[in-house]
Amino acid sequence: MSEHAIRIETASEADAAIVAAFIRKMLLYTESLGGYAGNRSESGWAELAARVAEEIRSNPKHAYLLAKDGEGSAIGLGAAQIHEAHLALEPCKTLHVSTLFVDESQRKGGIGRRILEELITFGKSRGVDEIDLGVEANNPAVKLYLDAGFRIQRYRMVLGLKGN
């Protein structure tokens, strides 16, 4: 499919279950790379979909963007939210990208880059100072982020205690 046949759309409240399903797919994928396990409870995913619908309806600091193919089927998701540091830190508005995921069959076609560009545009339009995200070190998407100008700024250190 041509990259140009793909469109990036702001998710509506009616898309909340689709958004939750993409977050779930992303967590299953990142779990396979060593990331955190997604919630195993179906009720947890239903609650997440309800929360996403509420954020879409009432919180302009959240962005949920769906990539759709020529038939209108969702094939990718970008999600981000604005955080504002204050008090002990120098004031700073950060757009945190929490989800960037493209269906495996659609990868390597520039869709992830287009979603990321739209998230950057969202952040710029709201006056953010920086954009951050987390990614598993062995995720092939690291190249996408580096190519977009992201840089590694800090390391996250983890000591697993469960099962030890």
Give the model confidence (pLDDT) of 17-51 as tens digits: 999 999 999 999 998 888 888 888 899 999 999 99
Question: Domains of the chain, with CATH numbers?
Answer: 3-147 (3.40.630.30)
Going by their DSSP bridges, the two strands 92-102 and 130-133 should be labelled as parallel
- Residue pair 10/64 in contact by the 8 Å Cβ criterion: yes
Mean per-residue pLDDT, 104-123: 95
Q: What pTM was computed for the model?
A: 0.88
Report whether pLDDT(141) > 70.
yes
Averaged confidence pLDDT in the chain: 91
The per-residue pLDDT for 2 is 56
Residue 83: per-residue pLDDT: 94
Q: At what angle do helices 42-58 and 16-32 cross, to 10 degrees?
A: 120
